[in-house]
Chain A
Protein backbone atom coordinates (compact mmCIF):
# COMPACT_ATOMS: atom_id res chain seq x y z
CA UNK A 1 0.00 0.00 0.00
CA UNK A 2 1.21 3.48 -0.82
CA UNK A 3 2.41 5.74 1.93
CA UNK A 4 -0.43 8.22 1.77
CA UNK A 5 -3.07 5.51 1.71
CA UNK A 6 -1.53 3.89 4.79
CA UNK A 7 -1.43 7.26 6.54
CA UNK A 8 -5.08 7.88 5.74
CA UNK A 9 -5.96 4.39 6.93
CA UNK A 10 -4.15 4.87 10.26
CA UNK A 11 -5.67 8.28 10.74
CA UNK A 12 -9.21 6.99 10.21
CA UNK A 13 -8.67 4.03 12.50
CA UNK A 14 -7.31 6.12 15.31
CA UNK A 15 -10.05 8.71 14.91
CA UNK A 16 -12.71 6.06 15.23
CA UNK A 17 -11.31 4.21 18.23
CA UNK A 18 -10.36 7.23 20.34
CA UNK A 19 -12.65 9.37 22.41
CA UNK A 20 -15.42 10.79 20.28
CA UNK A 21 -15.22 7.92 17.84
CA UNK A 22 -18.14 5.56 17.65
CA UNK A 23 -16.52 2.26 16.73
CA UNK A 24 -17.53 0.26 19.79
CA UNK A 25 -21.03 1.70 20.00
CA UNK A 26 -21.80 -0.41 16.94
CA UNK A 27 -21.02 -3.62 18.80
CA UNK A 28 -23.12 -2.49 21.76
CA UNK A 29 -25.98 -1.76 19.40
CA UNK A 30 -25.53 -5.19 17.84
CA UNK A 31 -25.73 -6.76 21.30
CA UNK A 32 -28.83 -4.74 22.13
CA UNK A 33 -30.61 -5.75 18.91
CA UNK A 34 -29.80 -9.42 19.40
CA UNK A 35 -30.94 -9.22 23.01
CA UNK A 36 -34.24 -7.62 22.19
CA UNK A 37 -35.29 -10.10 19.50
CA UNK A 38 -35.97 -13.07 21.83
CA UNK A 39 -38.32 -10.78 23.73
CA UNK A 40 -40.17 -10.27 20.47
CA UNK A 41 -40.30 -13.82 19.15
CA UNK A 42 -40.23 -15.73 22.41
CA UNK A 43 -37.47 -17.71 24.10
CA UNK A 44 -38.06 -20.94 22.20
CA UNK A 45 -34.53 -22.25 21.68
CA UNK A 46 -35.35 -24.29 18.58
CA UNK A 47 -36.91 -21.31 16.90
CA UNK A 48 -33.98 -19.13 17.89
CA UNK A 49 -31.54 -21.64 16.50
CA UNK A 50 -33.45 -21.67 13.23
CA UNK A 51 -33.65 -17.91 12.80
CA UNK A 52 -30.37 -17.18 14.59
CA UNK A 53 -28.28 -16.52 11.46
CA UNK A 54 -30.97 -14.15 10.19
CA UNK A 55 -31.03 -12.30 13.51
CA UNK A 56 -27.28 -11.89 13.49
CA UNK A 57 -27.34 -10.67 9.92
CA UNK A 58 -30.12 -8.16 10.53
CA UNK A 59 -28.32 -6.94 13.63
CA UNK A 60 -25.10 -6.53 11.67
CA UNK A 61 -26.92 -4.69 8.87
CA UNK A 62 -28.54 -2.26 11.31
CA UNK A 63 -25.32 -1.73 13.25
CA UNK A 64 -23.43 -1.02 10.01
CA UNK A 65 -26.08 1.44 8.85
CA UNK A 66 -26.00 3.16 12.22
CA UNK A 67 -22.34 4.01 11.96
CA UNK A 68 -22.25 4.95 8.32
CA UNK A 69 -23.55 8.49 8.42
CA UNK A 70 -20.32 9.65 10.06
CA UNK A 71 -18.18 8.10 7.33
CA UNK A 72 -17.74 11.34 5.41
CA UNK A 73 -19.71 13.80 7.48
CA UNK A 74 -17.07 14.46 10.14
CA UNK A 75 -14.49 15.03 7.43
CA UNK A 76 -16.79 17.40 5.66
CA UNK A 77 -17.53 19.41 8.78
CA UNK A 78 -13.90 20.14 9.60
CA UNK A 79 -12.91 20.65 5.98
CA UNK A 80 -10.75 17.54 5.60
CA UNK A 81 -12.94 16.33 2.77
CA UNK A 82 -12.22 19.43 0.72
CA UNK A 83 -8.51 18.90 1.24
CA UNK A 84 -8.87 15.29 0.11
CA UNK A 85 -10.75 16.44 -2.96
CA UNK A 86 -8.02 18.94 -3.78
CA UNK A 87 -5.10 16.69 -2.94
CA UNK A 88 -5.00 15.19 -6.42
CA UNK A 89 -5.12 11.61 -5.20
CA UNK A 90 -7.65 9.36 -6.91
CA UNK A 91 -10.78 9.91 -4.89
CA UNK A 92 -11.98 6.35 -5.54
CA UNK A 93 -8.94 5.01 -3.71
CA UNK A 94 -9.47 7.51 -0.88
CA UNK A 95 -13.04 6.27 -0.50
CA UNK A 96 -11.90 2.65 -0.62
CA UNK A 97 -9.29 3.24 2.08
CA UNK A 98 -11.77 5.11 4.24
CA UNK A 99 -14.29 2.28 3.84
CA UNK A 100 -11.64 -0.25 4.75
CA UNK A 101 -10.71 1.68 7.87
CA UNK A 102 -14.35 2.10 8.78
CA UNK A 103 -14.90 -1.60 8.35
CA UNK A 104 -11.92 -2.52 10.48
CA UNK A 105 -13.15 -0.19 13.21
CA UNK A 106 -16.88 -1.07 13.12
CA UNK A 107 -17.44 -4.14 10.96
CA UNK A 108 -14.70 -6.36 12.25
CA UNK A 109 -15.83 -6.05 15.90
CA UNK A 110 -19.26 -7.22 14.77
CA UNK A 111 -17.70 -10.28 13.16
CA UNK A 112 -15.74 -10.99 16.32
CA UNK A 113 -18.81 -10.56 18.49
CA UNK A 114 -21.02 -12.74 16.31
CA UNK A 115 -19.91 -16.15 17.72
CA UNK A 116 -20.43 -14.89 21.27
CA UNK A 117 -23.90 -13.67 20.45
CA UNK A 118 -24.51 -16.95 18.67
CA UNK A 119 -24.38 -18.64 22.08
CA UNK A 120 -27.40 -16.64 23.20
CA UNK A 121 -29.25 -17.80 20.11
CA UNK A 122 -28.52 -21.49 20.66
CA UNK A 123 -26.46 -21.81 17.50
CA UNK A 124 -24.42 -24.99 17.16
CA UNK A 125 -20.70 -24.63 16.43
CA UNK A 126 -21.03 -25.34 12.71
CA UNK A 127 -23.60 -22.65 12.10
CA UNK A 128 -21.72 -20.30 14.39
CA UNK A 129 -18.65 -20.71 12.21
CA UNK A 130 -20.75 -20.35 9.08
CA UNK A 131 -22.39 -17.14 10.27
CA UNK A 132 -19.05 -15.70 11.28
CA UNK A 133 -17.55 -16.57 7.90
CA UNK A 134 -20.44 -15.03 5.99
CA UNK A 135 -20.34 -11.92 8.15
CA UNK A 136 -16.61 -11.65 7.60
CA UNK A 137 -17.11 -11.74 3.86
CA UNK A 138 -20.39 -9.86 3.73
CA UNK A 139 -20.02 -6.89 6.07
CA UNK A 140 -17.41 -5.20 3.83
CA UNK A 141 -20.06 -5.21 1.11
CA UNK A 142 -22.50 -3.51 3.48
CA UNK A 143 -19.94 -0.83 4.29
CA UNK A 144 -19.03 -0.29 0.64
CA UNK A 145 -22.65 -0.07 -0.49
CA UNK A 146 -23.40 2.15 2.46
CA UNK A 147 -20.58 4.47 1.41
CA UNK A 148 -22.72 5.41 -1.60
CA UNK A 149 -25.54 6.45 0.68
CA UNK A 150 -23.15 8.21 3.03
CA UNK A 151 -21.67 10.30 0.25
CA UNK A 152 -25.09 11.13 -1.18
CA UNK A 153 -26.36 12.38 2.15
CA UNK A 154 -23.09 14.00 3.24
CA UNK A 155 -24.38 17.52 2.90
CA UNK A 156 -27.59 16.88 4.81
CA UNK A 157 -27.71 17.72 8.45
CA UNK A 158 -29.89 14.76 9.37
CA UNK A 159 -28.96 12.23 6.76
CA UNK A 160 -28.89 9.10 8.93
CA UNK A 161 -32.42 7.86 8.40
CA UNK A 162 -32.48 8.76 4.74
CA UNK A 163 -29.19 6.92 4.32
CA UNK A 164 -30.75 3.77 5.74
CA UNK A 165 -33.74 4.07 3.41
CA UNK A 166 -31.51 4.56 0.39
CA UNK A 167 -29.08 1.78 1.26
CA UNK A 168 -31.35 -1.03 2.45
CA UNK A 169 -32.79 -1.86 -1.00
CA UNK A 170 -29.26 -2.06 -2.38
CA UNK A 171 -28.19 -4.31 0.49
CA UNK A 172 -30.92 -6.90 -0.10
CA UNK A 173 -28.78 -9.21 -2.28
CA UNK A 174 -25.99 -9.27 0.32
CA UNK A 175 -28.55 -10.04 3.00
CA UNK A 176 -30.13 -12.85 0.98
CA UNK A 177 -26.89 -14.61 0.16
CA UNK A 178 -25.39 -14.05 3.58
CA UNK A 179 -28.31 -15.63 5.39
CA UNK A 180 -28.80 -18.42 2.88
CA UNK A 181 -25.21 -19.54 2.93
CA UNK A 182 -25.28 -19.52 6.72
CA UNK A 183 -28.48 -21.56 6.59
CA UNK A 184 -27.08 -23.88 3.97
CA UNK A 185 -24.23 -24.81 6.29
CA UNK A 186 -26.64 -26.19 8.88
CA UNK A 187 -29.59 -27.97 7.44
CA UNK A 188 -30.02 -28.02 3.74
CA UNK A 189 -29.47 -29.99 0.61
CA UNK A 190 -27.91 -26.75 -0.62
CA UNK A 191 -24.14 -26.78 -0.69
CA UNK A 192 -22.58 -24.06 1.43
CA UNK A 193 -20.15 -22.90 -1.21
CA UNK A 194 -22.64 -21.80 -3.89
CA UNK A 195 -24.27 -18.93 -2.02
CA UNK A 196 -21.02 -18.20 -0.22
CA UNK A 197 -19.15 -17.68 -3.46
CA UNK A 198 -21.95 -15.47 -4.78
CA UNK A 199 -21.64 -13.49 -1.56
CA UNK A 200 -17.92 -13.08 -2.21
CA UNK A 201 -18.73 -11.96 -5.74
CA UNK A 202 -21.20 -9.39 -4.40
CA UNK A 203 -18.54 -8.03 -2.07
CA UNK A 204 -16.10 -7.69 -4.96
CA UNK A 205 -18.72 -6.02 -7.14
CA UNK A 206 -19.54 -3.55 -4.41
CA UNK A 207 -15.83 -2.88 -3.94
CA UNK A 208 -15.94 -1.53 -7.49
CA UNK A 209 -19.35 0.15 -7.63
CA UNK A 210 -19.25 1.59 -4.12
CA UNK A 211 -16.04 3.66 -4.32
CA UNK A 212 -16.66 4.78 -7.90
CA UNK A 213 -20.23 5.90 -7.26
CA UNK A 214 -19.49 7.57 -3.96
CA UNK A 215 -16.45 9.34 -5.41
CA UNK A 216 -18.71 10.78 -8.12
CA UNK A 217 -21.25 11.80 -5.50
CA UNK A 218 -18.59 13.37 -3.28
CA UNK A 219 -17.22 15.41 -6.16
CA UNK A 220 -20.68 16.76 -6.85
CA UNK A 221 -21.29 17.50 -3.20
CA UNK A 222 -17.96 19.28 -3.02
CA UNK A 223 -18.36 21.82 -5.80
Chain B
Protein backbone atom coordinates (compact mmCIF):
# COMPACT_ATOMS: atom_id res chain seq x y z
CA UNK B 1 0.00 0.00 0.00
CA UNK B 2 1.32 3.39 -0.89
CA UNK B 3 1.77 6.20 1.56
CA UNK B 4 -0.98 8.12 -0.16
CA UNK B 5 -3.56 5.46 0.55
CA UNK B 6 -3.39 6.36 4.21
CA UNK B 7 -4.67 9.78 3.31
CA UNK B 8 -8.04 8.19 3.73
CA UNK B 9 -8.91 8.58 7.41
CA UNK B 10 -10.95 5.38 7.60
CA UNK B 11 -8.08 3.36 6.23
CA UNK B 12 -5.71 5.15 8.57
CA UNK B 13 -7.91 4.26 11.53
CA UNK B 14 -7.80 0.61 10.47
CA UNK B 15 -4.03 0.76 10.30
CA UNK B 16 -3.91 2.29 13.76
CA UNK B 17 -6.10 -0.51 15.13
CA UNK B 18 -3.69 -3.16 13.86
CA UNK B 19 -0.44 -1.44 14.74
CA UNK B 20 -1.28 0.09 18.10
CA UNK B 21 -1.41 -3.06 20.31
CA UNK B 22 1.98 -4.23 19.02
CA UNK B 23 3.52 -0.82 19.40
CA UNK B 24 2.15 -0.45 22.92
CA UNK B 25 3.46 -3.87 23.94
CA UNK B 26 6.87 -3.14 22.48
CA UNK B 27 6.93 0.24 24.23
CA UNK B 28 6.18 -1.34 27.62
CA UNK B 29 8.86 -3.98 27.15
CA UNK B 30 11.52 -1.50 26.07
CA UNK B 31 10.62 0.77 28.97
CA UNK B 32 10.99 -2.13 31.40
CA UNK B 33 14.37 -3.04 29.95
CA UNK B 34 15.52 0.57 29.94
CA UNK B 35 14.49 1.21 33.52
CA UNK B 36 16.11 -2.04 34.63
CA UNK B 37 19.34 -1.14 32.88
CA UNK B 38 19.19 2.38 34.23
CA UNK B 39 18.64 1.46 37.85
CA UNK B 40 20.32 -1.90 38.34
CA UNK B 41 22.97 -2.31 35.69
CA UNK B 42 24.41 1.12 34.97
CA UNK B 43 27.15 2.11 37.42
CA UNK B 44 27.18 5.41 39.21
CA UNK B 45 29.06 8.20 37.58
CA UNK B 46 32.17 9.04 39.55
CA UNK B 47 31.38 12.76 39.40
CA UNK B 48 27.61 12.87 39.34
CA UNK B 49 26.94 9.87 41.53
CA UNK B 50 23.47 8.44 41.33
CA UNK B 51 22.08 11.63 39.86
CA UNK B 52 23.29 10.41 36.50
CA UNK B 53 20.14 8.31 36.54
CA UNK B 54 18.11 11.46 35.94
CA UNK B 55 19.94 11.69 32.62
CA UNK B 56 18.27 8.49 31.48
CA UNK B 57 14.96 10.31 31.30
CA UNK B 58 16.22 13.84 30.76
CA UNK B 59 18.18 13.22 27.57
CA UNK B 60 15.45 11.18 25.83
CA UNK B 61 12.85 13.80 26.76
CA UNK B 62 15.03 16.58 25.41
CA UNK B 63 15.67 14.62 22.23
CA UNK B 64 11.97 13.99 21.77
CA UNK B 65 10.91 17.58 22.21
CA UNK B 66 13.14 18.37 19.23
CA UNK B 67 11.90 15.40 17.22
CA UNK B 68 8.31 16.30 17.95
CA UNK B 69 8.82 19.79 16.59
CA UNK B 70 10.46 18.36 13.48
CA UNK B 71 7.46 16.09 12.95
CA UNK B 72 5.16 19.07 13.38
CA UNK B 73 7.18 21.08 10.86
CA UNK B 74 7.06 18.21 8.36
CA UNK B 75 3.33 17.86 8.93
CA UNK B 76 2.89 21.59 8.38
CA UNK B 77 4.69 21.27 5.07
CA UNK B 78 2.27 18.47 4.33
CA UNK B 79 -0.64 20.75 5.16
CA UNK B 80 0.54 23.73 3.14
CA UNK B 81 2.29 22.12 0.20
CA UNK B 82 0.70 18.73 -0.40
CA UNK B 83 -2.61 19.41 1.37
CA UNK B 84 -2.45 15.95 2.86
CA UNK B 85 -5.67 15.53 4.83
CA UNK B 86 -3.97 13.85 7.77
CA UNK B 87 -1.10 16.30 8.02
CA UNK B 88 -2.80 18.88 10.19
CA UNK B 89 -4.33 16.10 12.29
CA UNK B 90 -0.79 14.90 12.90
CA UNK B 91 0.53 18.37 13.69
CA UNK B 92 -2.33 19.21 16.02
CA UNK B 93 -2.08 16.02 18.02
CA UNK B 94 1.70 16.25 18.25
CA UNK B 95 1.69 19.67 19.94
CA UNK B 96 0.45 18.67 23.43
CA UNK B 97 2.76 15.66 23.42
CA UNK B 98 5.68 17.84 22.49
CA UNK B 99 4.76 20.29 25.23
CA UNK B 100 4.64 17.43 27.73
CA UNK B 101 8.07 16.15 26.71
CA UNK B 102 9.50 19.64 26.83
CA UNK B 103 8.05 20.05 30.30
CA UNK B 104 9.66 16.77 31.34
CA UNK B 105 13.01 17.85 29.93
CA UNK B 106 12.81 21.16 31.81
CA UNK B 107 11.73 19.61 35.10
CA UNK B 108 14.28 16.80 35.08
CA UNK B 109 16.94 19.25 33.98
CA UNK B 110 16.20 21.52 36.93
CA UNK B 111 16.12 18.62 39.33
CA UNK B 112 19.47 17.47 38.01
CA UNK B 113 20.87 20.98 38.12
CA UNK B 114 20.07 21.57 41.80
CA UNK B 115 22.46 18.95 43.20
CA UNK B 116 24.98 19.34 40.36
CA UNK B 117 25.09 23.08 39.75
CA UNK B 118 23.59 24.18 43.05
CA UNK B 119 20.66 25.92 41.42
CA UNK B 120 17.43 24.88 39.79
CA UNK B 121 17.76 27.19 36.87
CA UNK B 122 20.53 28.93 35.00
CA UNK B 123 20.04 31.11 31.96
CA UNK B 124 22.18 28.78 30.01
CA UNK B 125 21.84 28.62 26.24
CA UNK B 126 20.42 25.14 26.10
CA UNK B 127 17.93 25.61 28.92
CA UNK B 128 16.76 28.92 27.54
CA UNK B 129 16.23 27.48 24.06
CA UNK B 130 14.14 24.65 25.48
CA UNK B 131 12.10 27.15 27.49
CA UNK B 132 11.44 29.13 24.31
CA UNK B 133 10.43 25.90 22.60
CA UNK B 134 8.01 25.23 25.45
CA UNK B 135 6.41 28.66 25.02
CA UNK B 136 6.09 28.01 21.30
CA UNK B 137 4.35 24.69 21.89
CA UNK B 138 1.90 26.33 24.26
CA UNK B 139 1.30 29.19 21.82
CA UNK B 140 0.55 26.74 19.03
CA UNK B 141 -1.86 24.82 21.26
CA UNK B 142 -3.61 28.06 22.16
CA UNK B 143 -3.86 29.07 18.52
CA UNK B 144 -5.54 25.75 17.79
CA UNK B 145 -7.94 26.12 20.63
CA UNK B 146 -9.02 29.66 19.80
CA UNK B 147 -10.06 28.94 16.22
CA UNK B 148 -13.20 26.86 15.93
CA UNK B 149 -12.79 25.85 12.29
CA UNK B 150 -10.23 23.01 12.31
CA UNK B 151 -9.21 23.52 8.67
CA UNK B 152 -8.41 27.20 9.10
CA UNK B 153 -6.78 26.60 12.45
CA UNK B 154 -4.64 23.91 10.89
CA UNK B 155 -3.42 26.22 8.17
CA UNK B 156 -2.70 29.10 10.56
CA UNK B 157 -0.84 26.80 12.90
CA UNK B 158 1.10 25.33 9.98
CA UNK B 159 2.32 28.80 8.99
CA UNK B 160 3.36 29.52 12.55
CA UNK B 161 5.05 26.13 12.95
CA UNK B 162 7.12 26.67 9.82
CA UNK B 163 8.08 30.20 10.82
CA UNK B 164 9.06 28.78 14.19
CA UNK B 165 11.11 26.08 12.49
CA UNK B 166 12.96 28.75 10.55
CA UNK B 167 13.39 30.77 13.69
CA UNK B 168 14.52 28.07 16.09
CA UNK B 169 18.08 27.87 14.71
CA UNK B 170 18.27 31.67 14.83
CA UNK B 171 17.00 31.67 18.40
CA UNK B 172 19.48 28.94 19.32
CA UNK B 173 22.32 30.87 17.72
CA UNK B 174 21.42 34.16 19.34
CA UNK B 175 20.89 32.61 22.77
CA UNK B 176 24.28 30.93 22.45
CA UNK B 177 25.84 34.25 21.57
CA UNK B 178 24.02 36.02 24.39
CA UNK B 179 25.13 33.35 26.81
CA UNK B 180 28.80 33.65 25.97
CA UNK B 181 28.41 37.36 26.60
CA UNK B 182 26.84 36.88 30.02
CA UNK B 183 28.76 33.81 31.04
CA UNK B 184 28.17 33.57 34.78
CA UNK B 185 31.15 32.70 36.94
CA UNK B 186 29.67 29.53 38.33
CA UNK B 187 30.84 25.99 38.71
CA UNK B 188 28.76 24.60 35.90
CA UNK B 189 30.48 22.64 33.19
CA UNK B 190 29.07 23.37 29.81
CA UNK B 191 30.51 20.41 27.98
CA UNK B 192 29.25 17.81 30.38
CA UNK B 193 31.19 14.69 31.28
CA UNK B 194 32.00 12.27 28.52
CA UNK B 195 29.71 9.33 28.81
CA UNK B 196 30.97 5.85 29.47
CA UNK B 197 29.57 3.09 27.29
CA UNK B 198 28.03 1.37 30.31
CA UNK B 199 25.82 4.44 30.63
CA UNK B 200 25.27 4.81 26.93
CA UNK B 201 23.30 1.59 26.72
CA UNK B 202 20.54 2.47 29.16
CA UNK B 203 20.40 5.92 27.61
CA UNK B 204 19.99 4.41 24.18
CA UNK B 205 17.30 1.96 25.27
CA UNK B 206 15.42 4.70 27.10
CA UNK B 207 15.59 6.90 24.01
CA UNK B 208 13.98 4.13 21.98
CA UNK B 209 11.37 3.64 24.69
CA UNK B 210 10.49 7.34 24.72
CA UNK B 211 10.30 7.40 20.93
CA UNK B 212 7.92 4.44 20.97
CA UNK B 213 5.89 6.14 23.68
CA UNK B 214 5.68 9.24 21.54
CA UNK B 215 4.41 7.29 18.55
CA UNK B 216 1.87 5.34 20.62
CA UNK B 217 0.40 8.51 22.10
CA UNK B 218 0.63 10.34 18.81
CA UNK B 219 -1.31 7.64 16.96
CA UNK B 220 -3.94 7.57 19.69
CA UNK B 221 -4.25 11.34 19.66
CA UNK B 222 -4.52 11.36 15.87
CA UNK B 223 -7.30 8.79 16.08
CA UNK B 224 -9.10 11.00 18.61
CA UNK B 225 -8.72 14.00 16.37
CA UNK B 226 -10.15 12.14 13.37
CA UNK B 227 -13.09 11.00 15.49
CA UNK B 228 -13.57 14.55 16.77
CA UNK B 229 -13.75 15.92 13.25
CA UNK B 230 -16.17 13.16 12.30
CA UNK B 231 -18.40 14.10 15.23
CA UNK B 232 -18.20 17.73 14.22
CA UNK B 233 -19.06 16.96 10.59
CA UNK B 234 -21.98 14.75 11.60
CA UNK B 235 -23.33 17.41 13.94
CA UNK B 236 -23.08 19.99 11.20
CA UNK B 237 -24.86 17.72 8.79
CA UNK B 238 -27.55 17.07 11.36
CA UNK B 239 -27.93 20.79 11.96
CA UNK B 240 -28.14 21.58 8.26
CA UNK B 241 -30.67 18.79 7.80
CA UNK B 242 -32.77 20.27 10.60
CA UNK B 243 -32.57 23.82 9.26
CA UNK B 244 -31.87 23.54 5.57
CA UNK B 245 -30.42 26.61 3.97
CA UNK B 246 -29.01 28.30 7.05
CA UNK B 247 -26.33 25.95 8.26
CA UNK B 248 -25.43 24.47 4.90
CA UNK B 249 -23.15 27.34 4.07
CA UNK B 250 -20.91 26.74 7.05
CA UNK B 251 -20.75 22.95 6.79
CA UNK B 252 -17.27 21.64 6.25
CA UNK B 253 -16.15 18.52 4.43
CA UNK B 254 -15.87 15.57 6.78
CA UNK B 255 -12.14 15.25 7.17
Contacts and interface: CB of A to CB of B under 8 A. Distances in A.
Interface residues of B, number: 28
A216 interface: yes
Contacts of B152: 155, 220-221
B221 interface: no
Contacts, number: 76
Given A156-B147, A202-B170, A170 B163 contact: yes
Interface of B: 80, 132, 135-136, 138-139, 142-143, 146-147, 152, 155-156, 159-160, 162-164, 166-167, 170-171, 173-175, 177-178, 181
A221 B156 CA distance: 8
Given A155-B147, A169-B135, A170-B171, 10 more contacts: A165-B138, A170-B164, A172-B174, A173-B171, A173-B173, A177-B174, A177-B177, A180-B181, A205-B170, A209-B163
A66 B167 CA distance: 22
A136 to B, nearest CB: 20
A96 to B, nearest CB: 16
Interface SS, A side: helix
21 contacts: A152-B156, A156-B146, A166-B160, A169-B136, A169-B164, A170-B164, A172-B171, A172-B174, A172-B175, A173-B174, A176-B174, A176-B178, A177-B174, A177-B177, A195-B177, A202-B170, A205-B170, A213-B163, A216-B80, A217-B159, A221-B156
B132 A172 contact: yes
Interface in A122-159: 148, 152-153, 155-156, 159
Q: How large is the interface on A (under 10, 10 to 19, 20 to 34, 35 or more residues)?
A: 20 to 34
Contacts of B80: 216
A183 to B, nearest CB: 8
Instruction: Kindly list the 8 A-B residue pairs having the minimum CB-CB distance in the complex, ordered from nearest.
Output: A173-B174, A220-B155, A176-B178, A176-B174, A217-B159, A166-B139, A152-B156, A165-B139
Contacts of A152: 143, 156, 159-160
A172 B164 CA distance: 12
B159 A220 contact: yes
Contact of B135 (A153, A165, A198, A213): A165
A170 B156 contact: no
Nearest to B149: A155
Interface in A197-220: 198, 202, 205, 209, 213, 216-217, 220
Nearest to A154: B156
Nearest to A220: B155
Interface SS, B side: helix
B220 to A, nearest CB: 27
A176 B164 CA distance: 17
A213 B174 CA distance: 22
A209 B169 CA distance: 14
Contact of A220 (B136, B138, B156): B156
A147 B110 CA distance: 35
B139 A217 contact: no
A213 B166 CA distance: 11
Nearest to B132: A169
A176 B5 CA distance: 47
A162 interface: yes
Nearest to A148: B163
A176 B177 contact: yes
Contacts of A113: none
A162 B177 CA distance: 28
A113 to B, nearest CB: 26
A162 B140 CA distance: 10
B162 A213 contact: yes
